Structure 1
Amino acid sequence: MGRLARASALIAAMLLACPSSATTPTRSRWIASWGTAQMVPTPENALPANRTRDVTIRQKVRLSAGGTRVRVRFSNVFGTEPLVIGAAHLARPAAGASLRPDSGQPLRFAGEAGVTIAAGAEAYADPVAMAVEPGADLSISLYVAGATAGQTGHQGARATSYLAAGNHVADATLIGAEPTTRWYHIADVEVEGTQGTATIVAIGDSITDGYGVQPDTHQRWTDRFAERLRADPATRAIGLVNAGIGGNRVLLDGLGPNLQARFDRDVIARSGIRWAILLEGINDLGVLTKDRPASAAEHAAIVRRITQGYAQVVARAHAHGIQVIAGTIMPFVANEYYHPGAATEADRQAVNSFIRTSGLFDAVIDFDQLLRDPARPDRLAAAFDSGDGLHPSMAGYKAMGDAIPLALFADAAEAPATKLSLTFDDVPDHGPLPAGVTMSDTVGSIAASLKAAGVPEAYGFLNAGRGVGADGARAARLWRQAGYPLANHGFRHRDLAEMDAATFEQELLANEPALKASGTRDWRWFRYPFLSEGRSPAALDAARAVLRRHGYRIAAVTMDFGDYGWNGAYARCLALGDAAAITALEDSYLAAAHIAAIRARASSAPAQPLVLLMHVGAFDARMLPRLLALYRQLNFTIVPLAEAQAHPAYAASNDLSLPGPSTSRDEPASLALLRAPLPDAVCA
């Protein structure tokens, strides 16, 4: 057989060996279901001298996600010599150090009973078939044959483990076992889930590690959050790993490696990670003045360096497709260990301001607002204070676990199908525009993107009297030439709160000649400038009477994310030539849009269509194709405005004989602490 014939036969054999797409089963993937952050145990937390070799260590862990196969990752990351594991075993735990009968099976390593893990390395055991449900407890037993030099473990386990001399990994009961509340040499338990399942890592300091939680009570804030995840069908398959380390800092090592040093191992390298919840920085702030006063320059530097550290880990996470949700730092002025003063409190406020407004993070959970005392916001509320002025009480941890919206993590495919009408305010332009960009450039780009995406209708709300000149007039014509309608946004975009009814009527009517000339068939929709419906019920009633007299309906707003805020930041970043900042703006824009969708759905009646408020701006034009793709992913269908507002929830917008306001939204308390990223400080 010639070379060509042999090659053809080989290709044919390969094709026959590969299943066709029609018969390929659903792909699976491994995700972390339990894990902990590795560190060097302090001397008092290390294995006792008589239990560093020829010892069985039996350790209990609680999974988050379930699956049908399980694998365990063992760690010698901080070892200075090879770690010899002679045997390992996985089972369901019973009381104390005992195992449930007939529940276990040996773990093997490439088919062998044991493994030698090189210094600084980790090793997976072979996967085992074991059906585990979300929230299941497992016992991992390992036999350490040789002495360990440089132990690896986690001293804040909040769980009871057991030590016994000799190899007893498969024994149902460990005779003479000694209890310890530490974990040693175990890094992760992974489960095999379907493609699309994923895991959250909570990374932080002792507040995440659960300082004050008694062993085996599962009262850390992550434990409560995990309970909520598995109780909801939309998030039941999501894993959650606690990677907190007591005393941890963003910048410098403490009891464990600093955040920047450990982030790749504790977040990025784990299997199936899609989200990280970051709550860290309180120890950096506290240590600065713990032993001596700090200068104003040192205070300014610590804030700057913490926020730079945040930026570094977020950039690394985003490079791997991982979203980062930040928690604000809680108050700790009452803590006697750090005894912070006014300058440290000012540092905390500055860091929290960065977290809330920098646009760096994909979302923000305002733990500060949740746990602080409203009367003394530099201190924890009494009910949420463990007594040391820094760590939350059990009630505080529960409140934290309850504060995180599950909708942030629900699979987009599980989102309910929702109708959405797109509307754009401030035609022909909501500036500022970047240098060299015209209003007609912006409007033309937006209209082209809408057409390319097959959007059937998108109302543009016109201000004909804002002095926009020939370019503005051309921009409005481009909108109409694309086939999209115009409607009334007031002649000069004046706030109803600054006008009486007669002036409001003049503003309304002055805009009508341009609308009539546009050729729009149904232009008698009105959108209040600034969404302001007046200063008083009487002013609102008077405005509604004017609109009713002239045959208008109100274009409601039930979803918006402040998109206009990105236009100014974009112009600034373009002027500076800061491509990295523009990429960050793109990420934060889409993150804010996603959070707005979560809020709008949660605040609306079942099956209620939504009306999205956007603006005509240069960054909106840049982002619109990606925004429309996001809305498709989130299961939105674009419909005309009249179809959306046919729902009874919009009765007060359609029938102006009814009392106002035009719409109201009742946001659930579960979303009260969720913050979308803001672009205000970018390139400022």
Structure 2
Amino acid sequence: MFTTAWTASPQLPSEGFTPNWSREGFWRQSLRQTVRLTAGGHRLRVRLANDYGTSPLRIAGATVARTASGAAVEPGSVRRLTFEGGDGAEVPARGHLVSDPSELAVAAGERLTVTLHLAAVTGPATFHAQAFATAYRGAGDRLADVTGEGFDASSESWYFLSAVETDAGRRDGVALLGDSTTDGFGSTPDADRRWSDALADRTGRPVLNAGIGGNLLLNDSAWYGEKAVHRLARDVLGHPGVSTLVVLLGLNDIGFSETDEQPTYRPAPVVETAELIDGHRRLIRQARAGGLRVVGATLLPLGGSDHWGEHAAKVSHEINTWIRDGGEWDAVADLNRHLADAADPDRLHPAYDFGDHLHPNDAGYAVMAEAVADVL
């Protein structure tokens, strides 16, 4: 039985707030991407996403290998991926494709490098905007390049790669559905210090990160992905091995109406507490119908950030009260109280503040993981 060991939620190609290659796509190039696994095994397979492609995505070849450093991989660990027995494959427009299993022993916490050779024009690329990990691009077929020296361009997004699964046989995976805080904004790039990584280390369980920077519970947007009440089926329920869902959403629904700095999400509606509660209830129903235990997480303090304002203060307090006391979740992780400044509970504690008064730093993400681990 295969278990999902890593995920990234697919997004529509866009320039967004992170420079990337999604609009231009790829042609006669190799793309090398590194991910951190949260479940081990002796065989693995990868899932490729073409959710927002309007034509088939042609894969000329693909490999997996243990990561050395940067774009380099461990000599002797390179394994060629096949798709229904062949080296090449087509990922259908608006669809996805899972590779055949490949024999490569990996451990939880180990980093894996996936390389795709894209000989044909891909067109705009389905991607994940904020990876907080470096991807590499090089000319031609570089599947066998172990040194990484031929990869001469880099990006901090993931492209086409949406999951890695191992034959761990685990059925206790934890999926985190959220926005930029779940995605890892404010964590150290290439250090795997998102709270999803810390939670996997703390619990020893597979953890799926289904965060998208800027994501909203109730509405779609050009840069920030499909609304969470819609994408839950694809980004969580569609992956094998998940038993628990943790939801941390609503802050952008509240906060975007307080700022003029989000040009791709205009007009930003003024969202009321009852609407957010209804959205959370929809997630709870969907998750339970999929057999999952559901944990609600309170919104982090946002005082002093660009999301803060009179309405945001009111609604954030009300939604957090409902999450804590409404009795509708299987368990509650009160992240707000764990990360608040005791001197001003509407603000993040300075020791946990990345600097924008909205996102935690590495230390804050570690505290979040501890708080959630305690209620799993």
Residues 1:74 and 2:48 aligned together? yes
Write out the 4+ residue segments of structure 1 that deviate beyond 4 Å after TM superposition. Answer: 48-51
Partners of 2:277 and 2:37 lie apart in 1 by: 33
Unaligned runs of 5+ in 2: 262-268
**Is the aligned partner of 1:325 residue 2:295?**
yes
2:130 equivalent among 156, 163, 178: 156
| SS of 1:368 mapped into structure 2 | helix
Measure, in 1, the Cα distance between the counterparts of 2:25 and 2:253: 35
* Shift, 1:214, TM fit: 2.6
Equivalent residue in structure 1 for 2:364, among 382, 392, 396: 396
User: How far is 1:170 from its partner?
Assistant: 2.1
Q: Report the equivalent of 1:30.
A: 2
Q: Distance in 1 between matches of 2:277 and 2:290?
A: 20
Structure number with the higher helix fraction is: 1
Indicate conservation of the 8 Å contact 2:244/2:294, yes or no.
Answer: yes
Q: Which residue of 1 aligns with 2:265?
A: none
Q: CA deviation at 1:145?
A: 2.0
Question: How far apart are the structure 2 equivalents of 1:312 and 1:202?
Answer: 16
Inter-partner Cα distance in structure 1 for 2:71 and 2:348: 38
Alignment check: 8 A CA contact 1:106 1:170 kept: no
Q: CA deviation at 1:113?
A: 0.6
8 Å contact kept, 1:307–1:351: yes
The residue type paired with residue 117 of structure 1 is V
- What do residues 446-467 of structure 1 show as CA deviations (whole Å, max 9, x unaligned)? xxxxxxxxxxxxxxxxxxxxxx
Given that 1:383 and 1:396 are in contact with CA atoms closer than 8 Å, whether structure 2 keeps it comes out as: yes
Write out aligned runs for 1:180-579 (5 A): 180-194=155-169, 197-230=171-204, 238-254=205-221, 255-291=224-260, 302-335=272-305, 337-338=306-307, 340-405=308-373, 408=376
Count of aligned pairs: 364
Given that 2:25 and 2:122 are in contact with CA atoms closer than 8 Å, whether structure 1 keeps it comes out as no
Q: Call closer, same or farther: CA 1:160–1:291 in 2, change over 3 Å.
A: closer
Structure 1 residue 117, shift from structure 2 partner:
0.9
- Distance of 2:121 and 2:231 partners within structure 1: 26
Q: Is the 8 A contact 2:23 2:124 kept in 1?
A: no
Unaligned runs of 5+ residues in structure 1 are: 1-28, 231-237, 293-297, 409-684
Give the AA of the match of 2:111. Answer: D
Deviation of 1:93 (Å): 1.4
The aligned residue for residue 97 of structure 1 is: 71
| Kept in 1: contact 2:128–2:157 (CA 8 A) | yes
Q: How far apart are 1:50 and its partner, in Å?
A: 7.2
Higher relative contact order (CA 8 A, sep 6+): 2
Amino acid at match of 1:184: Y
SS of residue matched to 1:347? helix
Aligned partners of 2:65 and 2:79 also within 8 Å:
yes
Structure having the larger proportion of residues in strand: 2
Conserved 8 A contact 1:55-1:163: yes
Q: Which aligned pairs between 1:622-637 and structure 2 lie closer than 5 A?
A: none
Computing the radius of gyration from Cα coordinates, the structure with the larger value is 1
Q: Which residue of 2 aligns with 1:415?
A: none
Would you say the 8 A contact 1:51–1:163 is kept in 2? Answer: no
The 5 Å alignment of 1:4-43 reads: 29-43=1-15
Given that 2:5 and 2:166 are in contact with CA atoms closer than 8 Å, whether structure 1 keeps it comes out as yes
2: CA distance, partners of 1:41 / 1:399: 33
| Cα separation, 1, equivalents of 2:167 and 2:70 | 28
* SS of structure 2 residue aligned to 1:116: strand
Which residue is equivalent to 1:543? Answer: none
Q: Contact 2:47–2:164 (CA<8 Å) still a contact in 1? A: yes
Structure 2 CA distance for aligned equivalents of residues 202 and 170 of structure 1? 34
State, as a whole percentage, how many aligned pairs show the same letter.
35
What is the TM-score of this pair, normalised by structure 1? 0.52
Query: Does the CA contact (< 8 Å) of 2:331 and 2:375 recur in 1?
Result: no
| Contact 1:229–1:406, Cα closer than 8 Å, also in 2 | no
